[in-house]
Structure 1
Amino acid sequence: MTEKQVNPTLRAALEYGPIILFFVAYTFLKDRSFMVGGTEYSGFVAVTAMFIPVLALATLAMWKLTGHLSKMQIVTLVLVIGFGGMSIWFNDERFFKMKPTMIYLLFAGILGFGLLRGTSYLEAVMDRALPLERAGWMILTKRLALFFLALAIANEVIWRSMSTDAWVNFKTFGLPLAMFAFFMTQAGLFKRYGTDEDASES
């Protein structure tokens, strides 16, 4: 089943809107507390409770519009519901802060397992977006697995040793910028191992 094309602005809004909304809500509510059912919840936990349905709705909307969800989107939603739900249930923000660590460790582990088997799971997911020779896919997969591992370590260091404000800034801006920077630094690899689809089809 082919993925339907969606307006790029709408796609960006669905992909990045929930995390931006999380940041804005946290900025306004971080110093407040909320009493629900006799239990007092911090602003962070309250914003987490808001973020879960917003992300779920955005993911559902993406699926309705495109008819497709990537494995990364599905795993992210499941872990947000799981770790976010534990933060709310136990009234402990630490569970939600662990979520990026679990996501990146999972992705690094999956890519690493594929490499041990002599294959690139990344190629199966991104082949249409990045036409590369097999050697290029193997190199990129190894680099991305190590990058995900580094992000997991960075997340653990930041949430355990820094303030919640610092972690929210890292999650909202640091992680997306790090991902963008990673792929920008792979320009040499794309140039060396890129394939000309038009030429191969002629």
Structure 2
Amino acid sequence: MLDRRLLLEFLPGLVFLAVNAVSTLYVATGAAILAAMLAVYLRYRIDGQLPFLAISTVLLSIVMLGAGLVQDDERFIKVKPTIGGVSFAIILAGGMLARPSMLQRSMGYKLEMIPTGWTVLHIAWIALALTLATLNELVWRNTSTDAWVTYNALSGPVTFAIYFGITYAVAWWYWDEDEEEEEAA
């Protein structure tokens, strides 16, 4: 059975896809923002913590929707995943310099890896964020709006799976067996 949190991650993309099928890109974006705000609220109710990445995505979406409406240009909406991906990569790169690193701080309670593993995980996530930003640019510039909407909505679950797969592989490869033995003792 899927975790409630996982379903909430996919909610905005599904709303975006469904509303775009019956309305405009602007209305679909607004509906997805409302769905994302609902998902943030429900995640807070479930976890007791604010999901800052989701909040930053909502804020970026609001800004880009507003700019698109003011300029009457849907490219602002289409470029939002690119800006988000590049921003995420920059934040991850900066987070690599912190001690403990950003990912270690946010995931270290679940993953016990040697220091090299955290560096590899940061680099892998940065590479994936930049790859996804590049893919978004290629898709929105070379396909119809409807094709881009479908890509954008369906890329969410795929992206989640890829980040999970990368994290699993890196954690498996760089697992800190000494830490595990110390806890068992």
- Normalised TM-score (structure 1): 0.78
Deviations 1:21-71, CA, capped at 9 Å, x for gaps: 111111233xxxxxxxxxxxxx11122222222221221222133221233
Higher radius of gyration, 1 or 2: 1
- Kindly indicate which of the two structures has a greater share of residues assigned to helix: 2
Measured in 1, the distance between the counterparts of 2:66 and 2:110 equals 34
Residue of structure 1 in register with 2:21 after alignment = 27
Measured in 1, the distance between the counterparts of 2:162 and 2:65 equals 28
Q: Give the Å deviation of 1:186.
A: 5.5
Aligned equivalent of 1:17, options 11, 14, 35:
11
Paired residues, number: 183
Measured in 2, the distance between the counterparts of 1:25 and 1:122 equals 34
Q: Does 1:166 align with 2:140?
A: no
Give the conservation status (yes or no) of the 8 Å contact 1:49–1:88. Answer: no
**Which range moved further: 55-64 or 111-120?**
111-120
- Normalised TM-score (structure 2): 0.85
Deviations 1:74-104, CA, capped at 9 Å, x for gaps: 2112111111222233332111111111111
Residue of structure 1 in register with 2:135 after alignment = 154
Give the conservation status (yes or no) of the 8 Å contact 1:62–1:69. Answer: yes
Cα separation, partners in 2 of 1:83 and 1:200, compared to 1, 3 Å: farther
Paired amino acid for 2:148: W
Alignment of 1:13-92 (within 5 A): 13-29=7-23, 43-92=24-73
Measured in 2, the distance between the counterparts of 1:189 and 1:72 equals 22
Q: Give the Å deviation of 1:173.
A: 1.4
Residue of structure 2 in register with 1:3 after alignment = none
Aligned equivalent of 1:126, options 87, 101, 107:
107
Q: Give the Å deviation of 1:201.
A: 1.6
Uncovered stretches (5+) of structure 1, i.e. residues with no partner: 1-6, 30-42
Output the aligned Cα RMSD: 2.4
Paired amino acid for 1:76: T
Q: Give the Å deviation of 1:149.
A: 0.9
Q: 3-state DSSP class of the match of 1:92?
A: coil
Residue of structure 2 in register with 1:140 after alignment = 121
Uncovered stretches (5+) of structure 2, i.e. residues with no partner: none
> Which structure ranks higher in relative contact order (CA pairs < 8 Å, sequence separation ≥ 6)?
2
